[in-house]
């Protein structure tokens, strides 16, 4: 794992982009790393664009704004199109091919297309495509340990939705195997 990992997660409001970013950020906190989590969303919220920047670092973080991410997690076509060229050479893109029909692939980044929405629905985990993609991100980058990731999910799922903790862990497993 590198000293710093800068991630942009992007999609429509309501797809769980901010939640997935929060889980990644909490994983960093649990591992006692420096963390920034910066949400950004249009005025429409649900259905509008939403993205968040997450930085996990072993050093103090100068700015929470991620302009050249190491990793892009894209949940829809407009987000993919907006951020694909921002990823630094040598970076990683994890994209939901259920929602992104036109994946222009760059030859200087590793791109992982995962039909996350379809996979989640078929596994009875509707609405957890965001966590399927987070599972793929975890498998590709190893940004934390699995124990840490599970602990972050347990911390981020609100008590009133505790029944979703196991479903989120199943979604991580799906993504890891994709």
Q: Alpha-carbon distance 175 to 129, whole Å?
A: 9
- Provide the token pair at 97: 């091919």
Give per-residue pLDDT as tens, 9-32. 999 988 999 999 999 999 999 999
| Dihedral sign from CA coordinates of 139, 143, 149, 155 | negative
Give per-residue pLDDT as tens, 91-117. 999 999 999 999 999 999 999 999 999
| CB neighbour list of residue 15: distance below 8 Å, 6 or more residues apart | 50, 75, 76, 129, 130
DSSP H or E run through 176: helix 164-177
Start-end of H helices in 113-145: 116-122, 129-141
Give per-residue pLDDT as tens, 44-79. 556 677 999 999 999 999 999 999 999 999 999 999
The residues pairing with 40 across neighbouring beta strands, listed in sequence order, are: 51
Biggest CA-to-CA distance, the chain: 44
- Quick one: pLDDT at residue 64? 93
- Quick one: pLDDT at residue 49? 79
For the residues 127-156, what does the mean pLDDT come to? Answer: 98
The answer to whether residues 134 and 23 touch, using CB atoms and an 8 Å cutoff, is yes
Q: Alpha-carbon distance 108 to 169, whole Å?
A: 31
Residue whose pair of structure tokens reads 């630094």 in the numeric block: 88
What is the set of domains in the chain, with CATH numbers? 4-177 (3.40.920.10)
The one-character DSSP state at 123 is T
SS (H, E, C) 36-93: EEEEEECCCCECCEEEEEEEEECCCCCCCCCCCCCEEEECCHHHHHHHCCCCCCCCEE
Q: Alpha-carbon distance 65 to 49, whole Å?
A: 17
User: Residue 1's pLDDT band (boundaries 50, 70, 90)?
Assistant: very low
């Amino acid at each position: 794992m590198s000293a710093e990992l800068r991630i942009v997660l992007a999609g429509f409001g309501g797809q769980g982009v901010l939640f997935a970013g929060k889980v990644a950020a909490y994983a960093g906190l649990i591992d006692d790393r420096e963390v920034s989590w910066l949400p950004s969303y249009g005025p429409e919220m649900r259905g509008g664009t939403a993205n968040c920047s997450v930085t996990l670092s072993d050093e103090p973080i100068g700015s929470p704004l991620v302009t050249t991410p190491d990793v892009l997690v894209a949940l829809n076509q407009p987000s993919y199109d907006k951020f694909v060229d921002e990823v630094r050479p040598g970076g990683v893109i994890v994209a939901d091919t259920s929602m992104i029909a036109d994946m222009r692939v760059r030859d200087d980044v590793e791109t992982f297309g995962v039909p996350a929405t379809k996979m989640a629905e078929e596994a009875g985990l509707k609405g957890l495509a965001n966590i399927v993609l987070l599972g793929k991100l975890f498998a590709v980058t190893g940004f934390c340990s699995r124990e840490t990731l599970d602990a972050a999910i347990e911390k981020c799922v609100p008590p009133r939705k505790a029944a979703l903790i196991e479903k989120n862990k199943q979604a991580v497993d799906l993504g890891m195997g994709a």
